[in-house]
Chains A and B, each alone.
Chain A
Amino acid sequence: MADTNRRSKKKPVGEKPELLRNFYEGMSLVRTFELRASEMYARAKIGGYCHLNLGEEATVVGLTAALEDRDYLYTTYRDHGYAIMRGMEPSVVMAELFGKATGVVGGWGGSMHMFDLDKRMLGGYGIVGGQIPPATGAALAISFRSEAGPESEAVMCLLGDGTTNIGAFHESLNLAGLWNLPIVYVIVNNGLGMATTVEDASAEPDLYKRGSAYRIEGTRVDGDDPIAVRDAARAALKKARVERRPSLLELMSYRLKGHSVVDPARYRSKEDTDEAKRNDPVTAFRAKLVADGVLTEKDADAIDDGADKVVTEAVAFADESPDPSIDELFDKVYSTPVANAPRRLPGEPVVVLS
């Protein structure tokens, strides 16, 4: 097991400038998208719950960069950034937030339930820990029908720090350890489950150690460093493919804002939020790339402007898109037609004899 410092001081040595630039583009896009989502929520364009990836951009970009197209991703309800970086168009992600027919799941899921079968992102999940057993089962299916090897598929399953206290986490890790499943469990430890700190929720607050009960190797990684995140995830995925062994990564991250857009996070001290701002991974990564001569300030501004343009277009697309048709209300309850499936709007007769 490795316990690295939360903030790695290493420069991204040996990475191609083009890749570093791509990483910054991704982080800037996620940041811009989430800030605009917050704004759209305040303007009542978005309903329900809305959890943002603000502060988690390096993790989002690093993890999705480690995945191959053939891999499967399961994530939590804090999923917009993952959806975009897994390849969904920002416009259809925004349209989903707006509840429109053009959204990634046609307005059926909203913020917490981004899903794209072709991109192999098998869902954001709104029930804490609910994604972990199905993700484990997806890894079982991979084992069931294919051999281990560098070309194998693998599963990545994200979860939050609070989720490591739920039974589904422990049952799933036990199954994955027992059955040698090709899966990487990734804890995004942003320090808080809603308002409860990791120390107040977990008897073992070094969460990466929790895999040891199941003989699953755990590694703690600086979640603000997209390169470190990518490398750790890539190594764990390789182990899943080649050795058919599960891994547990703990990415030390930080939530820049409240649990969801409606949470002002008054339970956090000023020192705490000031430190979060100082360590903002997007500005830190930008500063690092400028300092290393990878980007000029002008380049970085141009990237930010580009992200702004994409997100502005996404909002326009979402705004102009049609609502789903009420005629389709009952069409997706079952995947195959079945006799006597109820198709009644409220107040309509229960029995219609033919």
Chain B
Amino acid sequence: MSESASEPRIITYRQALSETLRAELERDENVFLIGEEIGVFKGSYKITAGLLEDFGPKRVVDAPIAEEGFVGAAIGAAMLGLRPVVEIMTLNFSLVAIDQIVNHAAKMHAMFGGQVKVPMVIRFPGGGGQQLAATHSQNLEVWYAHIPGLKVLAPSTPAEAKAMLTAAIRDDDPVIFLENLALYSVKGEVPDGEQVAEIGKAAVVKPGSDLTIVSYSRGMVTALQVAEEFEQKGVSIEVVDLRSLRPLDRETICASVRTTSRAVIFEDDMLSYGIGAEISATIGEGAFDYLDAPVRRVAASEVPLPYSKPLETAALPHAADLSRVVQEVLDATRFTK
């Protein structure tokens, strides 16, 4: 991460995103925003509030409800050298545009022999827990993380949101930028001045020696909370924030587990074929001889997410689930302080 003049402020994840969009619109005249209700309505989650007023309709483009059309149009604009930042209201609606994202944005650079670049960002929030029912509560980031040609970022804090969105907008490849409904109002320290994250790198955000929790996006809030609980009981937990789902920083994950010998993965996505499955396999190959217990995954139940609050709560992974599994892994290895 490069930085200059860092003086931290406490701001929300939403504000960090909004300030970054503003800064990049000011810095580069080729950057423009496009999406549904991002102008007059100020964005469904108010990330783009004030930007239409200050940059005008050419730089902040309100698009009709036509995700395939406007995502594809952003791809074409990027082919001609502009830097579109697309907002899709939620991850769920990105499925309407998936042909353009997967068959086109992700493929063009390689398939056209390296002649054309597609410098664009597609931002959307994922996440359940808001009683939005099955079609509005998904975490399908793994679909995009599966695709070579895309870069997939998932910041978990306001500071990461700033540094990673800056990096994404300045990157010359299509970047899927995963936000989370439950993170928008989370506050954190954000350094002033330019912050540019390195894409493709995970981070050990809390060092520890007894067990590694791997997570990303909103899952990190829970991971750090649980780590803190165990810390108070005298168990030292290391927490790895993936930050980049593609490319995936396998080395940082394996290096951590080689030290702690125990690993639990926490994710909001569903378990089978998920991010956790990939990380578990990675640990199996890169740290097998160091493991004292099987790698465990804490993930969502595999059901279309219900509307009913008790059902929704039961289906989603919570801190109590993570705590229980961490304790089970410790017990299985007869861990003592």
Contacts and interface: CB of A to CB of B under 8 A. Distances in A.
- Which bracket fits the contact residues of B? 35 or more
Contacts of A178: 64
A144 interface: yes
B255 interface: yes
Interface stretch (A165-173, A184-192, A197-205): A165-173
A132 B72 contact: yes
A197 B187 CA distance: 59
Interface string B66-87: 1011111111111111101000
Interface residues of A, number: 53
Contacts of B7: none
A72 to B, nearest CB: 8
Interface in B60-119: 63-64, 66, 68-82, 84, 99-100, 103-104, 108-118
A122 B80 CA distance: 10
Given A117-B115, A171-B69, A350-B281, A144 B247 contact: no
A339 interface: yes
Interface in A19-76: 72
Contact of B79 (A134, A171, A175): A134
Contact of B112 (A105, A130, A171, A350): A105
A108 interface: yes
Interface string B165-186: 0000001110000000000000
Contacts of B71: 133
A87 interface: no
A350 B285 contact: yes
B146 to A, nearest CB: 12
Contacts of A354: 251
B248 A333 contact: no
Contacts of B66: 171, 174-175
B294 interface: no
B285 A135 contact: no
B198 interface: yes
A140 B200 contact: no
18 contacts: A108-B111, A137-B77, A145-B82, A171-B66, A171-B68, A171-B69, A175-B64, A335-B118, A338-B151, A339-B200, A339-B201, A340-B248, A340-B249, A341-B200, A342-B247, A350-B250, A350-B281, A350-B282
Interchain residue pairs A-B with the least CB separation, the first 3? A133-B72, A137-B76, A171-B69
